Structure 1
Amino acid sequence: MIIVFGSINIDLVTRVERLPQSGETVLGPDYAIHPGGKGANQALAARRAGADVALIGAVGRDDFAGTALSLLAADGVDLSRVSRVDAPTGAAFIAIDRDGANQIFVAAGANAQARPGAIAGLGPGPDDLLLLQREVPEEGCIEAAATVKDGGGRVILNLAPAGVPSEALLALVDILIVNEHEALVLAQGFGWAEREPDDIARRVDAERGIACVATLGAAGAVGWSGGVRRRLEAPPVDVVDTVAAGDSFTGAFAAALALGLGFSSALQRGLAAGSLACSGAGAQPSIPRAEAITALVGSSFL
């Protein structure tokens, strides 16, 4: 099973001709409301990619909570350990330009009260995998990771939003997933001179003993594990928007590992899922299913 401890949001999305600069107002014609949040997105992505998934997090007691959980429930993610708290459901405010690039602002809301205590009730064992991000309190991530590691499971940390995790959290992580910006922030935080994601991922693997995957947008991804480098190109797609591309990659990558596939195969499935997400609009509505991922893997990595 994949256990996700992470954020649950509602996304308010508007399309604009171009993204605003500081202090500038840019008008959009309308907006859409979608379920989102990195934890929820990755839980749904892993579930749609074929894994059994339980989500641990928090929502408010407001009307947005039901919308935020709707697609997760429809796809069979275990939501029995999602708490209802006296805070507004988390929200993300997303602007997408004509080329599919985005700017995202997140209000934590109920996510600040997410607690991982329910993980122990799942009885995590060696076949389980914990998936973490950085939209819930880090102390909760540390507690969640320690619980899963005590049971013999593995821990994946997606370093999003960008930041430098504590040494206490890093000590519990088996696999780190970063994009180009997140890799650079990590290197700067460590005081490293490296600036290329490939070099940073190699050093994380070599010096920290943490397998590291750096996603490179349309250029694909590079992964280092046990001193071995894997470099794969992304399958080409017609881009509608890039929202949830990283979450789709991470969820599908984790699902592949949970289903017993190797590191390289997991990279392939993650890249296919991330590419497919770019071809649809919105966060969770664009997250692909296992059949589409398998078909794109088969046509792109022959």
Structure 2
Amino acid sequence: MITVFGSLSADLVTRVKHLPTPGETVTGPAYTVVPGGKGANQALAAARAGAAVRMVGAVGGDGFRDLALSGMRDGGVDLTGVADSPEKTACAFIAVDDKGENLIFVASGANLDARAAQLNDAGLTADDVLLLQMEITHAENWKAVEIAKAAGAKIVLNLAPAGPIPEESLRRLDVLVVNETEAGQLGTQLGLTEQDPEIIAAKIAADFDLDCIVTLGPAGTRSFGPSGRYSVPALSIDVVDTTAAGDSFVGAFAAGLDQGLAMEQALRQGSVAGSLACRAVGAQPSLPLRDEITAHLAALPETA
């Protein structure tokens, strides 16, 4: 089983002609409200890719509560680990331009009340995968790493949005997933002088004995570490909205690991899912189902 410890939110999404610059007001014709949050997105992505998934986090008692849980509930995610918070359910405010690029602001609210101690009721075992992101209190993430390590679970961290990570926690990870920006920021934290995200990922993998995956958008994905070195392309897709592409990749990739796929095959599954998520506006509504992922795998070239 995959246990996701992370964020849940209600996402307010609007289409705009271009993303605003500081001090600029840009209007959109309408907006939609959909479930989101990196933790919830990745939990649903993994469930849609065929994994059994448990979500651990926190929501408020306000009107956005049911919306934030609705996508995962419909997707069969176990929500018994989601706690009640006196704070409001988190909200994300998302603008998407005509090229599918986005600008996102998050009001964390109840996400800051998620506690690693909630994992004590999750019954983590050596057969489980713990999936983490960076939209909750960082210190709770590092406590969660210790709990999962003691249970023998595989630990996957998506360092998004980018933030500092203690080196002792980094050494306990099995898999680290970063994009180009996140790789650069982590490299700077670690005192690396390299600028190339692939070189940084390879160095982190070697120094911390983990698999480090760097996602490169339309250029695909590179992976370095004990499981091998892989270069996986992305599907050619007409991009509508990139909002959930990274979460779709991570969730489907984690599902592959949980399903016993070899690293390269799990990466390919994640790459296809991430590409397919760019076809529609919004986070969770765009996440592909397992049959869709399988149907498009054959169209993915063997190497990037």
Cα distance, 1:116 vs structure 2: 2.2
**SS of equivalent residue, structure 2 residue 299:** helix
4+ residue runs over 6 A deviation: none
Cα distance, 1:156 vs structure 2: 0.5
Q: Letter of the aligned partner of 2:208 in structure 1?
A: R
More deviation, 120-129/9-18: 120-129
Q: 1:227 to 1:75 in 2, by over 3 A?
A: closer
Cα distance, 1:125 vs structure 2: 1.1
Q: Does 1:116 align with 2:110?
A: no
Q: Does 1:190 align with 2:190?
A: yes
Separation in 1, partners of 2:146, 2:119: 10
What is aligned with 1:217? 217
Separation in 2, partners of 1:113, 1:75: 24
**SS of equivalent residue, structure 2 residue 127:** coil
Q: Letter of the aligned partner of 1:103 in structure 2?
A: L
Deviations 1:110-137 (A, max 9, x none): 0000112232222211110100000011
Cα distance, 1:299 vs structure 2: 2.3
Q: Tell me how large the CA RMSD over aligned residues is.
A: 1.1
The answer as to whether partners of 2:2 and 2:54 remain within 8 angstroms in 1 is yes
Separation in 2, partners of 1:79, 1:89: 15
More deviation, 186-195/118-127: 118-127
Separation in 2, partners of 1:102, 1:168: 33
The answer as to whether partners of 1:16 and 1:27 remain within 8 angstroms in 2 is yes
More deviation, 280-289/137-146: 137-146
Separation in 2, partners of 1:59, 1:295: 35
More deviation, 188-197/36-45: 188-197
Separation in 2, partners of 1:172, 1:229: 20
Q: Letter of the aligned partner of 2:113 in structure 1?
A: Q
Separation in 2, partners of 1:124, 1:145: 11
Q: Does 1:137 align with 2:133?
A: no
Separation in 2, partners of 1:258, 1:234: 22
Q: Letter of the aligned partner of 1:130 in structure 2?
A: L
The answer as to whether partners of 1:206 and 1:227 remain within 8 angstroms in 2 is no
Q: How does 1:230-241 map to 2 (within 5 A)?
A: 230-241=230-241
Separation in 1, partners of 2:243, 2:281: 8
Separation in 1, partners of 2:138, 2:114: 10
Deviations 1:249-268 (A, max 9, x none): 00000000000001100110
What is aligned with 1:179? 179
Separation in 1, partners of 2:56, 2:222: 29
Q: Letter of the aligned partner of 1:203 in structure 2?
A: K
Separation in 2, partners of 1:275, 1:169: 30
What is aligned with 2:151? 151
**SS of equivalent residue, structure 1 residue 55:** strand
Separation in 2, partners of 1:25, 1:16: 11
Separation in 2, partners of 1:294, 1:197: 29
Structure 2 residue runs of 5 or longer lacking an equivalent are none
Separation in 2, partners of 1:164, 1:296: 36
Cα distance, 1:280 vs structure 2: 1.5
**SS of equivalent residue, structure 2 residue 185:** helix
What is aligned with 1:165? 165
**SS of equivalent residue, structure 2 residue 285:** helix
Cα distance, 1:283 vs structure 2: 0.3
Identity of aligned residues (%): 49
What is aligned with 1:254? 254
Q: How many positions carry a matched residue from both structures? A: 302
Separation in 2, partners of 1:283, 1:256: 20
What is aligned with 1:65? 65
Separation in 2, partners of 1:10, 1:60: 11
**SS of equivalent residue, structure 1 residue 178:** strand
What is aligned with 1:244? 244
**SS of equivalent residue, structure 1 residue 81:** strand
Separation in 2, partners of 1:171, 1:265: 24
**SS of equivalent residue, structure 2 residue 64:** helix
